[in-house]
Structure 1
Amino acid sequence: MSAALRTMVLGLGNLVMSDDGVGVRVVNHLADWYRFPDDVVLLDGGTLGLDILPRLEGIDRLLVVDAVDNGKSPGDLVRLVGDEVPVALSTKLSPHQMGLKDLLAVAELQGILPTEVVLAGVQPGSIEMGMELSVEVEGALSGLAGLVLSELERWGVAPAQ
């Protein structure tokens, strides 16, 4: 019998910059409402960037949850896979996105980049200082959490409530 693939769900963002904190909020919501198998790690990565690198060792699949400026309307969801992820991060929304791009590049150089990388994101409406999400992103929270759960299901991960 083969070992289970290790999966990390990484929420990124700055909670004091309005919609930028959406990835952290979704990961915290999932941790509060679901129980995950032992081979799944939920990580509030905040704005850590390269500090996350050691945590990627032994991870086979990485699902990043974040606000992503993809030129769409605020609240629109986006799913990016593999090489699409660093390309999307070329348009810098906030400092942590350069950190994520660097993290993925260094992980690849060190041979620890997960074989599957997916970014589940939402187009922000505001990244101004503030603790509240914009109305559009607040309305998209359940859809973003659903996108994360769907991706996990595609990978054969079934959290329990």
Structure 2
Amino acid sequence: MSILILGLGNLLMTDDALGSRCVAELEKRFVFPESVTLLDGGTLGLDLLPRLEPVDRLLVIDALQMKAEPGTLFRLHGDEVPRAFANKLSVHQMGLQDLLAVAELQGILPSQLVVLGVQAESIEMGLEMSSPVEAALPRLLDAVAAELLAWGVDVSLAA
């Protein structure tokens, strides 16, 4: 079983940095088996398509627009992750939407898809995430570890 943890984000746009920052923190805090790949996908969109081919399970981490209180944690899976977003879900709507749609058309969409994200407060130019999103980062890291454990992946703390 091959698992890809894909963080999306732009480090120059406040809360939009969430996915990239989360992947960096996961690499620091945990040791993963060879079956798990961590990837900071930045804002690459369709350029990420080849990375999905060998993947059985995909865990996407991103800042979300869910019309909720900033810092609220969300978990979407399977059909809850819209292929054609009626409302803007992710701040990377088009890139993620296109990636999933093309992967589905090519028959390489992973059999299990989960999006973990946090409601953004700001996606303005800036190097610091907002206080609510920064405060949600530890809960997001725990949610990633819990998701992997539910998938039967042994996650251990780094030394």
Q: Same fold (TM over 0.5)?
A: yes
Equivalent position amino acid for 1:134 in 2: S
| 2:124 alignment partner in structure 1 | 128
For residues 135-159 of structure 1, the C-alpha deviation after alignment (integer angstroms, 9 at most, x for no partner) is 1001100001111111111101122
| 2:34 alignment partner in structure 1 | 38
- Offset of 1:35 from its aligned partner? 1.2
Is 1:104 matched up with 2:100?
yes
Structure 2 CA distance for aligned equivalents of residues 14 and 154 of structure 1? 29
| 2:48 alignment partner in structure 1 | 52
Equivalent of 1:86, from 57, 74, 82? 82
CA RMSD of aligned residues (A): 1.3
- Given that residues 35 and 159 in structure 1 are in contact (C-alpha distance below 8 angstroms), is that contact kept between their aligned partners in structure 2? yes
| 2:21 alignment partner in structure 1 | 25
Equivalent position amino acid for 2:68 in 1: K
What are structure 2's unaligned runs of at least 5 residues?
Answer: none
Instruction: Sort the Cα spacing of 1:155 and 1:88 in 2 relative to 1 into closer, same or farther, 3 A.
Output: farther
Instruction: Sort the Cα spacing of 1:108 and 1:23 in 2 relative to 1 into closer, same or farther, 3 A.
Output: same
Instruction: Sort the Cα spacing of 1:120 and 1:6 in 2 relative to 1 into closer, same or farther, 3 A.
Output: same
Equivalent of 1:64, from 60, 63, 67? 60
Instruction: Sort the Cα spacing of 1:113 and 1:87 in 2 relative to 1 into closer, same or farther, 3 A.
Output: closer
Structure 2 CA distance for aligned equivalents of residues 102 and 114 of structure 1? 15
Is 1:114 matched up with 2:110?
yes
Is 1:8 matched up with 2:8?
no
- Offset of 1:89 from its aligned partner? 4.5
Instruction: Sort the Cα spacing of 1:6 and 1:89 in 2 relative to 1 into closer, same or farther, 3 A.
Output: same
- Offset of 1:126 from its aligned partner? 0.6
Instruction: Sort the Cα spacing of 1:19 and 1:90 in 2 relative to 1 into closer, same or farther, 3 A.
Output: farther
- Given that residues 84 and 97 in structure 2 are in contact (C-alpha distance below 8 angstroms), is that contact kept between their aligned partners in structure 1? no
- Offset of 1:17 from its aligned partner? 0.6
Equivalent of 1:138, from 127, 134, 141? 134
Structure 1 CA distance for aligned equivalents of residues 84 and 29 of structure 2? 30
More strand by share: 2
What are structure 1's unaligned runs of at least 5 residues?
Answer: none
Q: Which runs of 4+ in 1 moved over 6 A?
A: none
